[in-house]
Amino acid sequence: MRKVFSRRSLAVDPAHMITLHQEAIEQLELMHTATEAAEQASDGVRDALNTIAENHWEEYTDIIHMISMHDEHFATVMKKHGFTMRDNESADNERQFYGSRLLLLALLLGLIRRHRRFAYFYGLRSNPMGDYIKESIAMEREHVAVMIGMVQNMM
């Protein structure tokens, strides 16, 4: 009997993953800047900056969705932690920040550092420390999923 389709795992393109993680870093940095500026702004400007920060968060979640589509292990970790993509109904609802803005800023900085580590790990090729890198990437996936969940709960 001949198999029509074989189930072999697809290799992740490191250059594409680096680009996705760099885009995630950019969105998080923009959100961090808007959130930090909103901390010191007055009423009308604060509302506009909060809206900008929320838009950057939504763009970030879209990038996380793209990363999950290319990295099966990342998608598995995200599902394990109950992360779901936004839908059109929840996009219409107005979001507000709950909790400490300082905590939110710290979580954003943590996510930026994690994505930088991903970009660094994907940049390593033919490294004799391959097992260490695989374990580190697995741990980074877990940490990113937990931190995303924390920010998601604050919004």
- 29: nearest Cα among 40, 41, 21: 21
pLDDT digits (tens, 9 = 90+) for 29-65: 999 999 999 888 888 898 899 899 999 999 999 999 9
- Asked if pLDDT for residue 155 goes beyond 70, the answer is yes
pLDDT digits (tens, 9 = 90+) for 80-135: 888 765 554 454 455 566 667 888 899 999 999 999 988 888 887 656 667 777 78
Read off the tokens for 107: 């979580």
pLDDT at 152: 85
Q: In terms of residues, how long is the chain?
A: 155
Contacts of 142 (CB under 8 A, 6+ apart): 77
Q: What CA–CA distance (Å, rounded) separates 69 from 64?
A: 9
Angle, in degrees to the nearest 10, between helices 43-70 and 72-80: 120
End-to-end CA distance of the chain: 54
